[in-house]
Structure 1
């Protein structure tokens, strides 16, 4: 009777897991008979539905892979669609007709728009932001750059020297006076040369204006 009882009990014991010398977990039971291939999970985890075991002292941590593609894709999408967000800026920075537009003029590329505002008239911030720089140099002459956040910046060039009314690091509101329309730098007549940047890439300012 004892022998029979042992046989009956043994037949109802559920499948057990045994660990071999290769640090593998082998599931033993009816589903892993000699007629079928045993289910094996190694320390590297080849199957999601099997719990794996590994020694903390001998297993190197998995490298962290940064998903830079998604960030770059968003950046490129913003640049590609940068000419589309109509009215993203709050105010036209000077009062006057627009003469030269963004794009090629013959073989020369014009990186902004020229607003024919009267000499000494006001140049104002197109939107709120932080003044990045107040500089004299290059073809822009006296110019101011405002960082509006979100990768968007605006540039205001050819100001009258000494008319600048802001300093780097200063917060400005939309419509705040920055300086006066002048003729400094590579310019043949007083006007405001105005540029818009998205992630350091120049884009057409026209769709950005209200």
Structure 2
């Protein structure tokens, strides 16, 4: 999941080639987007399990529509996939540390929720922890999209947890669901904003 582009190695007169994601599954933007769909959908549907039953049906329908739309955009929209800069030195170490810290904090979310007498806050805290582990990736992988995904998940997760602590018990799972929805929306927007060749050329001409 990355949006950084570079024109290195491309002559101004060259027309970039648009492809469908399904034909470029190994490109980090496509593979990362698919991971985002899986993660966002998991948080969204898991969170919806904690909302009142009368609203679960309609919300699940909307969730399924959002996940399907995001997946379709990633796989089937024709777009120019960006040329990516190499990761920053030490990126693998940063990635590994972030993942390990995230896993170590998972059981801590349960302890925190119990200590605050708000067990429903745990799912929202998990979403915040997962979001926080994305934040360092923005710098080392030159991918600002991680700021958006991580920041939104942290904000929505902590917000949901806080409301759960204050007595709005449904806010915990709702915050987790909202974090998942945010991930899906950001991934979809990224794919939509990557132009097809004609749109790219028109944009460049209007800016000239």
> TM exceeds 0.5?
no
- Which structure ranks higher in relative contact order (CA pairs < 8 Å, sequence separation ≥ 6)? 2
TM-score norm. by structure 1 comes to 0.24
TM-score norm. by structure 2 comes to 0.24
Higher fraction of helix: 2
Higher fraction of strand: 1
Larger Rg: 1
